[in-house]
Amino acid sequence: MKYILGMNLSGFDLNLLRVLDALLRDESTVKAGERVGLSQPAVSSSLNRLRASLGDPLFVRKGQRIVPTDYAKSLEVPLRQALDGLEALLAGPRKFDPSAAQQSFKISGSDSYAELLMPALARHLMAEAPGVKAQLVEPVARDHIATLEKFGVDMVLLPKAQQFPAWLDSAPAFESRFVIVARQGHPRLLRNRMTPGDTIPMDLFCDLGHAVFSPEGNLKAMTDAALAQMGRERNVVVTLSTMGGVCSVVIDSDLVGILPEPLAQRMAPRLGLDIYRAPVPLGPGRIFLIWHKRNAANAAHTWFRNLVLDVLRPLGRVEQS
């Protein structure tokens, strides 16, 4: 831990490094001061010392925030890991005791986790960690991963649509196919002699009105890409920003919707929905739990994310990677 990206730590006051870490986290001299117990002038003075020692501006002003330079950003993860290692070394062996903990964790994910995760998670917390709070928050539109850096979120649940940045750690949570849901007694499905569990024929599937889950309001989704490869197109009538909204529209109309199978199986008996198969491949999609590497060795964070994974993995087994 003597060097971080070639930076010799031996000549640095540990408090200076803690100030730099806080500034990288909060991008505010006021908030960083609150984090490390220093006044705003003291933080500014420490920042000036760091700038002089490192030969880099480290942060530049952007409105009400200070934004890290590329060099400062390159220090964030190794600096956090080094400080975690030093704190663990100085503190000696320490275990996390969930029964005595007073802490909260924010999870970013779609509203489907209000059904698939939060009820079981709440039961575990009440029984094992009554002082621990879990908060499910909406993802940031178009950049779900950004919540881990800028919005105080501890972990994110989302599909792996691309390679995750190097500053993230991840673990597969579960796999799920997608299915079609329609209200019981749907007239067109009855006329076509469809029964729950059947595969809806392609012509009927494309002609039915669809309610589409899209937080950004996109008229095209994963299903439409699969249809386009076959030269087909479906009839999208409405888009909804929540999966609960899709269910609400489907139970009160002749539209159909596409949901993850575990959610559909949970909601169908409660809402009077029938489940059908699509004539195009819809999964399985793999959902990952993602967190910032700065929390990788944090005992409380490790305990909580393992609890989240224990709740979600039975929804659809995946090979660990």
For residue 31, the Cα-to-chain-centroid distance in whole angstroms is 24
* pLDDT tens digits for range 88-131: 666 554 678 999 999 999 999 999 999 999 999 999 999 999 99
Q: Could you tell me where the beta strands, DSSP code E, fall in 122-167?
A: 132-137, 155-159
The structure tokens listed for 54 are 């490192």
Q: How confident is the model at residue 222 (pLDDT cuts 50, 70, 90)?
A: confident
Q: Are 212 and 235 in contact (CB under 8 A)?
A: no
Average pLDDT over residues 71-97: 76
* pLDDT tens digits for range 273-289: 999 999 998 877 889 99
Q: Are 182 and 279 in contact (CB under 8 A)?
A: no
Q: Are 127 and 278 in contact (CB under 8 A)?
A: no
Q: Are 107 and 137 in contact (CB under 8 A)?
A: yes
Q: Are 234 and 224 in contact (CB under 8 A)?
A: yes
Helix (H), strand (E) at residue 205: helix 202-207
Q: Are 39 and 29 in contact (CB under 8 A)?
A: no
Q: Are 180 and 275 in contact (CB under 8 A)?
A: yes
Q: Could you tell me where the beta strands, DSSP code E, fall in the chain?
A: 3-4, 7-8, 59-62, 65-68, 103-108, 132-137, 155-159, 168-176, 178-183, 209-213, 235-240, 256-260, 273-276, 285-292
Closest CA to 222 of 288, 176, 174: 176
* pLDDT tens digits for range 152-202: 789 999 887 667 788 889 999 999 899 999 999 999 999 999 999 999 999
Helix (H), strand (E) at residue 78: helix 70-91
Q: How far apart are CA 153 and CA 289, in angstroms?
A: 12
pLDDT at 242: 93
* 3-state SS, residue 195: coil
Q: How far apart are CA 115 and CA 262, in angstroms?
A: 10
Closest CA to 134 of 155, 165, 161, 148: 155
